[in-house]
Amino acid sequence: MANDNTVDILNQQLTKISAENQFLTFKVADEEYGVDVLKVQEIIRYREPTKMPNAPDIVKGVINFRGEVIPMVDLRKKFNLELIDYDDFTVVIILEVKSKIVGIIVDMVSDMLSFNDEDIQTNLEFGSHVDMRFIKGMARLEDRLIILLYLDKLLSFEEYKAISSVNNEGK
C-alpha cells in the first residue's frame, strides 16, 4: 500500500528532525494543515478506538499507545466538517501537547516541510465564522496554502472537564 510507505518514510524522517519551524502537513477535507514537528510523537494507522462514555463528539475514543491510554480526536468533527468513512489513507498523528499525549485523526499525511519565518503569515483577518483560536498562521509554498495549527488551544480538554464537573454538581 502506498500509504504504508509514506507513513514509514515520514516516521523515519521524524526521528532525524532537529531544526525548528519544521511542520508535518496533512489533509483534512482538501485543506492542508501543518503541525509543529517537534510535537509529533509518531504517525500510526487508524484503528478502532474504545468508545468513551458520555464523551464530547470530537473525542472518537481512546487507544493504547505504548502502554498509555490516549484520546483520539477527529479533526473533521473538531472543524465541523462533513464526516467521511475512514479508509486506507486515514492516519492518526500522535502529538504531545502540554505533556499530554493525544492522537488526531486526519484524512492523510502529506509532507514534512520547513518554512522561513517570513513565509509564515500571522496577522490574519477572517470573518467571525472562522475560529481563529486554533490557528497559528498560514504558510505559502508555491501554490499550496498550509494552515499551521496552534495545538495547545486545539487540543485542550480543560473545557470538557469544566463542563462535566458543573454537570456533576448541583444535581
Partner 1 sequence: MVEENLQQIFIEEATDLLKDLENSLIELEDRPTDFELVNQIFRAMHTIKGSAALTGMTEISDFVHHAEDLLDQIRHETIDVNPDIIDILLKSTDVIKAMVNSLYDSSIIVPKRRKEELIESINFFKVEDNSKDLETQKKEVPTDEKEKVFKVKLDLNESFFSTGTDPILLIEDLAELGRILDININLTRIPELFELKAENCYLKWQLILRTKETEEKIHEVFLFVESDNHISIEEVTEDFEGDFDKTLADKLTGEILVERGILDAKDIRESLETQNKLGDILENQGKVAKEQIEKVVEEQSQSRKIQEKSKIKVDADKLENLINSMADLVISQARLRELTINTHEKVSMELSNALDEMDTKIRSLQEDIMSTRMIPVGNTFIRYKRLVRDLSQEQNKDVNFILKGKETELDKTVIEKIADPLKHMIRNAIDHGIETPEVRVKAGKNPEARLELNAYHKEGKVIIEVSDDGSGLDQEKILNKAIENGIVQPEDELSESAIYNLIMAPGFSTKEVVTETSGRGVGMDVVKNNIENLRGSINIMSKKGKGTTFRLKLPLTLAIIDGMKVKVGKEYFIIPLNSIMEFIRPKPEDFKTVESKGEVIQIRENYLSLARLYKILDLEPNVIDPSKGLVVVVQEDNKQICILVDEIIGQQQAVIKSLEDNYTYVEGMAGAAILGDGNVAMILDIATIIRMSIK
Residues contributing to the site for partner 1 (CB under 8 A): 49-55, 59, 62-64, 67-71, 100-102, 157-158, 160-161, 164-171
Which residue, 3 or 56, is less far from partner 1 as judged by CB? Answer: 56
DSSP notation for 109-163? EEEEEE--GGGEE------TTS-GGGEEEEEEETTEEEEEE-HHHHT--HHHHHH
Which residue, 97 or 139, is less far from partner 1 as judged by CB? Answer: 97
The set of cell numbers assigned to 33 is 494543515
Which residue, 145 or 166, is less far from partner 1 as judged by CB? Answer: 166
The set of cell numbers assigned to 84 is 467521511
The set of cell numbers assigned to 74 is 477527529
* Closest C-alpha to 23, from 148, 126, 124, 143: 148
Q: Kindly state the smallest distance separating residue 2's Cβ from partner 1, in Å.
A: 26
Which residue, 35 or 155, is less far from partner 1 as judged by CB? Answer: 155
Q: Kindly state the smallest distance separating residue 62's Cβ from partner 1, in Å.
A: 5
Q: Kindly state the smallest distance separating residue 116's Cβ from partner 1, in Å.
A: 34
Q: Kindly state the smallest distance separating residue 51's Cβ from partner 1, in Å.
A: 6
Which residue, 16 or 66, is less far from partner 1 as judged by CB? Answer: 66
> In DSSP terms, which residues pair with 112 in a beta bridge?
24
**Amino acid present at 127:** G
Q: Kindly state the smallest distance separating residue 64's Cβ from partner 1, in Å.
A: 5
Rg (Cα) of the chain, in Å, rounded? 16
SS3 content of the chain, % helix, strand, coil (to 5): 25, 40, 35
